[in-house]
Amino acid sequence: MKKLLCMVMAIAMLLSGAALAEGLTYASDGLFVFNPSYDYMETDCNSWPLVKEGEEITLSVLCYTDDAYPTPPYDVFFWNWLTAETGIKFEVEQVLQSALNERKSLMFASAELPDILLCVGLSTTDMMNYGAGEGLLLDFTPYVTPELMPNLCLALEEFPIMKANATAADGKMYSLPYNRGYFSPYGESDRIFIDKNRMEEVGVAEPPKTLDEFIDMLYAFKEADPDCIPLGGANDSMNPGYYILNAMGFLGQDGNYGTTITVRDGEAVLPVGDPLFKEYLTIMHQLYEDGILAESFFTDKGTEVNAKMSEGKLGVYPFVPFTVTPNVEDFSHWTSITPLTSEWSDKQQWLEYNCWDIGGFAASAKTQYPEIIARLADFFYSDYGFVMIWDGAYANNNTMGIIKGQEVWLEWDNLRSDGLPNIASKHPEIIDGTYDGDYDFKYSIYGGPFSTVGLNGGHVATSRATGIPEGIYAERHDAFLLRGLGWRSEEDFNYYVEHYMEYKTNPPTFDVNSPEGQFRGSMYEYVTPYETSGFPAITYYTLEETEAISNYRATLKTYADGEIAKFISGDRAIDEYEVFVEELEGMGLREWEQIYKDAWENYVAAMG
């Protein structure tokens, strides 16, 4: 399946009263100051080249290449085209993907960074250590302005969550985050399914909406079929406990059985230390005692859970059924759960899939050309920039003779099964000998380093959401800015909107007879309406906090997980819960929790 590219995004700290068009850098005292080097660059955001006539600028780039297809960068279309259009020369160092981590470590140890770090896999820890700590990474904050990055600024209006995701603990931004699939997230969040055949046998027409209804259904399954294991899963694999915690108001991900951070009533909390967790333990213990959970719940692994599923023993399966029962007659009678309410929480909610990421595009703090790097990155936020990555050059553009000029958007007569054009139908040079194969071409489009810069062509939807007209000749000037370098014609752009983005921007349809369509369609109906954000997947911690979290997980979490299992199995009385919490507090529970609470407060503040 064609890999979705991601849309590069970043964070804007809007500046009042500053002459942004003159070019700015971030001074050590926190003030913005003029940067004379801005003179090297064209200031018109509507057109390229970026470099003024007579100027010569070279940017060094570090990126990876696939181990199996180590194509030299200058043998492919993209770098040549980018040089011709922007006026920038690129010195590209490619590292085999298998050697990337070693190269990255040596780079930071020597403090010698290229101008641009393209998909080297920077983590939040890297940004705190090498950005906030050592000052090696460029802070992009001063450059995310309507004058330098108009496309990015427009995108931020639609996706404010990116501000929180990309803002480090010191309030600065050391990489341009990206989107891993915003327009097709259906069925990507945590998954639990119910056997509709068993539901029908006990008179349940729709997935239960309250915790009491859910538990009643499980007991009805057991009464109708004593050999049934109503609630599938195991303590250490596909544990369904998080579904019950979610019903009690603890919004978290799968794997949340008490010792994973959640959000409850707007506060970050570790469930194991919350008084309500005693009620959860009571419920889980009763389910185990009554055979609603498997007798082997504490010894089973994923293979045993799947074996029970394939044998038809389960009433509820905590994953996607077709992965175990691939025949349509075996997976089609399973339906998605829906989030539950309970006496402790009256809100149906489900943790949404995290489709955002960071670390794809970064730069050296020592670069002489921060503004032009910002302008270059901004192009890929535009629809046209997305197309140049995804589908290559337009006809009649300067392509260094690599692409001879094939009509692109109006010749979609050879579509693939997913509705997208077959690249060979648009670029016959791939099969007439200009290229021996299509990998060199696809390197610059689908794979190679740009596949994780973060380009997902989201600006058609963004322009609609912000009320910006979609045609290139729209009356509003900022609609043209949204197009980046610019479309060849309004006809081409509108064709792109109608045919290329349709499946991403219109309500989805699902083939219920296909494995993907069946489970995603079910989740789209029963889960998607209730998905919401919770504790962020992307958080920033100091080195000391990172070490503390690691230590707590190795000691406190390990102990807590073991005792939770004892409470559920009956080896430890529920009445000892308060003593158990005191034990954890003596081991540092509240200090561990406070690290997460501080991160949550920073996130909420960054969200504005």
pLDDT at 577 over 90: yes
As a whole number, the mean pLDDT across the chain is 76
Q: Between 301 and 179, whose confidence is greater?
A: 301
Q: Quick one: three-class SS letters along 76-133?
A: CHHHHHHHHHHCEEEEEEEEEHHHHHHHHHHHHHHCCCCCEEECCCCCHHHHHHHHHH
Per-residue pLDDT tens over the stretch 457-490: 333 333 333 333 333 323 333 333 333 344 445 5
**Confidence (pLDDT) at 30:** 30
As a whole number of Å, the CA-based R_g of the chain is 27
Q: Which of the pair, 109 or 156, is modelled with greater confidence?
A: 109
Q: How far from chain centre, in Å, is Cα 373?
A: 24
pLDDT band at 525 (very low <50, low <70, confident <90, very high): very high
Task: Say how many residues make up the chain.
Answer: 608
Is residue 10 scored above 90 in pLDDT?
Answer: no
DSSP β-bridge partners for residue 532? 351
* Among 103, 105, 118, 138, residue whose Cα is nearest residue 73: 118
Helix (H, G, I), strand (E, B) or coil at 34: strand
pLDDT exceeds 50 at position 154 = yes
Rounded CA gap, 51 and 607, in Å?
35
**CA–CA dist 541, 546 (Å, integer):** 6
pLDDT given at position 121: 84
Query: When comparing pLDDT for 68 and 456, which is higher?
Result: 68
Per-residue pLDDT at 78: 67
Q: How confident is the model at residue 150 (pLDDT cuts 50, 70, 90)?
A: confident
Chain-centre distance for alpha carbon 75: 31
CB atoms within 10 A of CB 327: 9
The structure's pTM equals 0.75
- pLDDT of the residue at 41: 76
Digit-coded pLDDT (tens) for 290-309: 999 999 999 999 999 999 99
Where does 445-558 show beta strands of DSSP type E? 531-532
Nearest one of 107, 172, 154 to 358, comparing CA atoms: 172
Q: Which strand (E) or helix (H) includes residue 518?
A: helix 515-526
* Residue 334 pLDDT class (50, 70, 90 cuts): very high
pLDDT in tens, 84-108: 778 899 998 988 888 989 999 999 9
CA–CA separation, 137 vs 173, rounded Å?
A: 9
- In this model, does residue 198 exceed pLDDT 60? yes
Reduce the DSSP state of residue 485 to 3 states and report it: coil
Sign of the dihedral defined by the CA atoms of residues 570, 575, 577, 582, in that order: negative
Q: What confidence score (pLDDT) does residue 402 get?
A: 37
Q: Is the pLDDT of residue 380 over 50?
A: yes
- pLDDT per residue over 37-78, tens digit each? 456 777 665 567 888 888 899 999 998 877 776 767 766 566
DSSP string, 189-217: S---EEEHHHHHHTT--S---BHHHHHHH
Which of 31-35, 374-378, 571-575 has the lowest average pLDDT?
Answer: 31-35
Domains and CATH numbers, the chain: 43-182+358-457 (3.40.190.10), 193-351+515-607 (3.40.190.10)
Position 597 scores a pLDDT of 97
Q: Is 186 within 8 Å of 528 (Cβ atoms)?
A: yes
Read off the pLDDT of each residue in 405-410 and give the average, rounded to a whole number. Answer: 32
Give the number of other CB atoms < 10 A from CB of residue 112.
11
